[in-house]
Structure 1
Amino acid sequence: MSHLRASLRRLIPPTPLSRRLATQSLLFATAEGTFLTGSAVFFTQVVGLRAAQVGLGLTAAGVVSFLLAYPAGKLTDRIGPKRMWAVGALVAAVLFGAWPFIGSFAGYLAMVICFEIIENAAGAGRNAYILDVMPEEERVATQAYMYSALNVGFTLGAIIGGIALAVDDLTLIRWMPLFTLVIGLFNAVFIARLPRAPHDIARSSSGRKSTGVRPTGRGPLHNVGWMLSSFFSGTMWTNQVLLNVVIPLWLVQATDAPHWLLAWLFGTNTVLCIFLPAYTSRGVKTVSDALRSVRISGAFFVASCLITMATHNTAGLLTIFLVWLGHVAVTGAELYFSGAGWAFQAKLMDPARRGEYGGVAEVFSTLGGRWAPALYTFLAMSWHPAGLPSAGWLVIAGISLLAVAGFHPSVRMAERFLTREGIVDGPATDKVEAASTAS
């Protein structure tokens, strides 16, 4: 029992600021999770849209968000990360108040595009704020605790949304966004009350020539290593496509596993993503540590493909176990790459241009992974060369290995760029932040 209590204590962030950031993640995810749980019913039965219209709107919003990711990052650097985050969270919360009054595709399209732009701008501020305000040695651990809190919040939101759906009252579903509005307002106030980060202080003061804030050297669009590593990051994050799209489709169409197993798959993923991020990210302090985590993530990715591939020829309890095990393996890929990604953000960004670097990362990671739902689904479900019904899984596994292989030279290239530009004063592997002590 004492070991259990000690394990549970490790799930609590160790510092007051990290606990506040985890609490904010819980608030945000509870609000969003409640709406997302009932969104399919809301859009189709309340707003009156067809499924194709819902998909078209989300695609359009994704395209607009992609085009504006870089400008949003630059704006974050200009006005300060906390201000960007707080204002974005406030506007996003207020937008939920308009959802009950949307009754057409045109209104839905305008809303979903505006919402995507605002949320992405808030996310740019959030990411830059965390890197700016947390001490270097606490950044990865803090983001791991926040990731756990997000999963707890989405679980709570799913429970609340599920209760609303169980009532089966469209009037209640119509006004459910107001619940998200209220929690979202609390979230915005909570963010506004967080301590200001160094860049926020610098932007609001008259002394704009503060050391460590004024950018030096060229920006991320000249940093080929950063752009390439962001691209490969997008490819590695296609583990989420396996998790949420391909393995569930495979279960339904290519195996004899019962459909109720889907609930266990997603439940297992949620539980693991609550309890394990602090463990899988532990010890990730340098770029070399992060690259090791990338390799581990790639191994889990390949293992998931091979295990799931085997279920085409199994039956009964063995199929159930292997599909579940394949889903657990892809969760391992998610968790280990999360820790690596947080370390790369902390170590490979110019401290004075974190918003801009984040915007570039968003653009190139989108290019590196947005194609995956269509390609992976085709490979797993429809590509059968030489009569091999599951050969597509080998190609998917190969894509992940190429991403792992590409990560290493691109990350080292990004390090050399930072050194050449004078952003760091030596090899960036273990001390990228040496030039940003003011941050």
Structure 2
Amino acid sequence: MRPVTQPPSTPTQARRVLAAAKRLIPPTPLSRRLALQSLLFATGFGTFLTGSAVYFTKLVGLSASQVGVGLSVAAVVAFLAAYPAGRVVDIIGPKRTWAVCTLVGALMFALWPFLHGFAAYLAVTVVFELVQNPGGAGRNAYILDVMPEKERVQTQAYMYSSLNVGFTLGALISGVALALDNLTVLRWMPIVTLVLGLVNAFFIVRLPRAERDVRVADKSRRKEPVPGPGALRNRGWMALNFFAGVLETNQVLLNVVIPLWLVEKTDSPHWLLAWLFGTNTVMCIFLPAYTSRGVRTIDDALKGIRISGAFFVLSCLITLLTHSTVGFLTVLLVWLGHVTVTGAELANSASEWAFQAQLMDPRRRGEYGGVGQVFKTAGDGWAPAVFTFLAISWGPAGWLVIAAIAVIATLGMAPAVRSAQRFAARELPPVATEPVG
């Protein structure tokens, strides 16, 4: 009998699998360090976030409405603080701001085991938001400042994947604590976040200084006025971020509206929620490095916006059908609706990274980030209440209105981006308009 041999295609297939696996690993030492930092942050914060609802109600002594009020107040504070926070980054330096805010934010978790009542919860939540705001602005400015231009979008994609891995690990850690059903164990869970936060702050300090950090450290240059017009004079940038905020309401569909629709308006089993979020997590871990790979120019980014808008609308159309379906068909359609809205998230993220890399003034990245955050909040802050009302109260007609909002935002992005491009060509250094990715 002739011996059985492996088909000749097997080595090629193995090489392809190996090459695909390598693409999930950041290609440069600095991008790997930034991805690891994202993993540290998300693991620590995800550990607290996963069990926060139980923590706030069982240990801090809050009602569900009080938790909601606190988060709403914090959101308003974040909106008001976004622009000043961006200016702080430009004055102090992105890495220093990021590291200090990360350290202070980590230390605040040491307070949670000793807090009780709404006033204490509100105070800590608001202060934490005030700390996180400049920290996030510093992080975003640092990445754009320190990374070579051709690596910026891809590096942010790897960091995005690492965030999702970290939040998954944090959820597993918190899930073990919740499964023990022991309030003493749960009370001291914020210490895990504290420890990982301190490691994260040390990790950030060890990162190389970016150009803006070097400039701030040079006392002879520190008080030099920053050249160029401010971000509030760039109408295209403001409009771009408003429409980007509207398109980012895909997260409201993902995390709020589709789950509520599943529970209230379909016959789907509630365990499907776990499958939906699991699918989203897996896609957001493994796909960002691929979906961002083709985004090299502004035109590529605008194509990504159109793809994101198409997925957004498709998710609405698929989900509205489940109003009148039953059984397995409903389960399949709800799952497809969640998959398509995740596609909208991935395409939109890659495009936004390109816009930030090319259309921000590199001399004012903190300010541009702060202004962008203000207008993004204006674009998405209303969505949880409005989208929930439309879907739950209006049914299929409400989903059509949500889809129409996504279409309007998609159509509005192109003229906003072109306006920001013209401003960049006229007012910003040439580096701000070179291709990335």
TM-score category by the smaller chain?
over 0.9
Whole-Å separation in 2 of the counterparts to 1:429 and 1:289: 14
- Please name the residue that 2:8 is paired with: none
Whole-Å separation in 2 of the counterparts to 1:122 and 1:167: 34
Whole-Å separation in 2 of the counterparts to 1:417 and 1:209: 27
- Please name the residue that 1:381 is paired with: 392
Contact 1:53 1:105 in 2 (8 A): yes
Compared CA separation, residues 430 and 195, structure 1 to 2 (3 A): closer
Contact 2:152 2:436 in 1 (8 A): no
Contact 1:43 1:49 in 2 (8 A): yes
Whole-Å separation in 1 of the counterparts to 2:362 and 2:436: 9
Contact 2:151 2:436 in 1 (8 A): no
SS of corresponding position for 1:391:
helix
1:168-247 aligned at under 5 Å gives the runs 168-208=181-221, 215-247=226-258
- Please name the residue that 2:423 is paired with: 417
Whole-Å separation in 2 of the counterparts to 1:297 and 1:103: 43
- Please name the residue that 1:61 is paired with: 74
Whole-Å separation in 2 of the counterparts to 1:18 and 1:97: 31
- Counterpart amino acid of 1:83? R
1:83-102 aligned at under 5 Å gives the runs 83-102=96-115
- Please name the residue that 2:42 is paired with: 29
Whole-Å separation in 2 of the counterparts to 1:356 and 1:334: 25
1:206 deviates by: 3.0
- Please name the residue that 1:360 is paired with: 371
- Please name the residue that 1:124 is paired with: 137
1:278 deviates by: 0.5
1:370 to 381, 399, 412: 381
Contact 1:288 1:429 in 2 (8 A): no
What TM-score comes out, normalization by structure 2 length? 0.95
- Counterpart amino acid of 1:278? A
- Please name the residue that 2:11 is paired with: none
1:244 deviates by: 0.4
1:79 to 92, 103, 107: 92
Whole-Å separation in 1 of the counterparts to 2:222 and 2:93: 15
Deviations 1:399-431 (A, max 9, x none): 01100110000111111112222x1459x7545
Whole-Å separation in 1 of the counterparts to 2:74 and 2:413: 29
SS of corresponding position for 2:215:
helix
Whole-Å separation in 2 of the counterparts to 1:54 and 1:28: 23
- Please name the residue that 1:2 is paired with: 15
Q: Does 2:328 align with 1:322?
A: no
Contact 2:237 2:416 in 1 (8 A): yes
1:139 deviates by: 0.1
1:165 to 178, 188, 191: 178
- Please name the residue that 2:311 is paired with: 300
- Counterpart amino acid of 2:370? G
1:208 deviates by: 1.1
- Give the number of equivalent residue pairs: 424
Deviates more, 1:112-121 or 1:152-161: 112-121
Whole-Å separation in 2 of the counterparts to 1:431 and 1:391: 41
Whole-Å separation in 2 of the counterparts to 1:214 and 1:247: 49
| Structure 1 residue runs without a partner (length 5+) | 384-388, 434-439
- Counterpart amino acid of 2:379? G
Contact 1:424 1:432 in 2 (8 A): no
Whole-Å separation in 2 of the counterparts to 1:143 and 1:171: 38
- Please name the residue that 1:386 is paired with: none
Give RMSD over aligned pairs: 1.6
1:214 deviates by: 5.8
SS of corresponding position for 1:351:
coil
Contact 2:94 2:138 in 1 (8 A): yes
- Counterpart amino acid of 1:174? R
1:2 deviates by: 3.4
Q: Does 2:121 align with 1:115?
A: no
- Counterpart amino acid of 1:335? L
Contact 2:425 2:433 in 1 (8 A): no
Deviations 1:186-206 (A, max 9, x none): 000000000000100111013
1:117 deviates by: 1.1
Whole-Å separation in 2 of the counterparts to 1:269 and 1:360: 29
1:215 deviates by: 2.9
1:400 to 406, 412, 417: 406
Deviations 1:31-50 (A, max 9, x none): 00000111111100001111
What TM-score comes out, normalization by structure 1 length? 0.94
SS of corresponding position for 1:208:
helix
- Please name the residue that 1:266 is paired with: 277
Contact 2:259 2:273 in 1 (8 A): yes
1:209 deviates by: 7.5
SS of corresponding position for 1:151:
helix
Contact 2:312 2:341 in 1 (8 A): yes
- Please name the residue that 2:260 is paired with: 249
Whole-Å separation in 1 of the counterparts to 2:266 and 2:106: 42
Deviations 1:310-350 (A, max 9, x none): 11111111111110001000000000000001000001100
- Counterpart amino acid of 1:394? L
- Please name the residue that 2:286 is paired with: 275
Compared CA separation, residues 4 and 183, structure 1 to 2 (3 A): same
Whole-Å separation in 2 of the counterparts to 1:276 and 1:54: 34
Whole-Å separation in 2 of the counterparts to 1:45 and 1:121: 31
Aligned-residue sequence identity (percent) comes to 66
Q: Does 2:354 align with 1:348?
A: no
1:217 deviates by: 2.1
SS of corresponding position for 1:123:
helix
Contact 1:214 1:352 in 2 (8 A): no
SS of corresponding position for 1:70:
helix
- Counterpart amino acid of 1:73? G
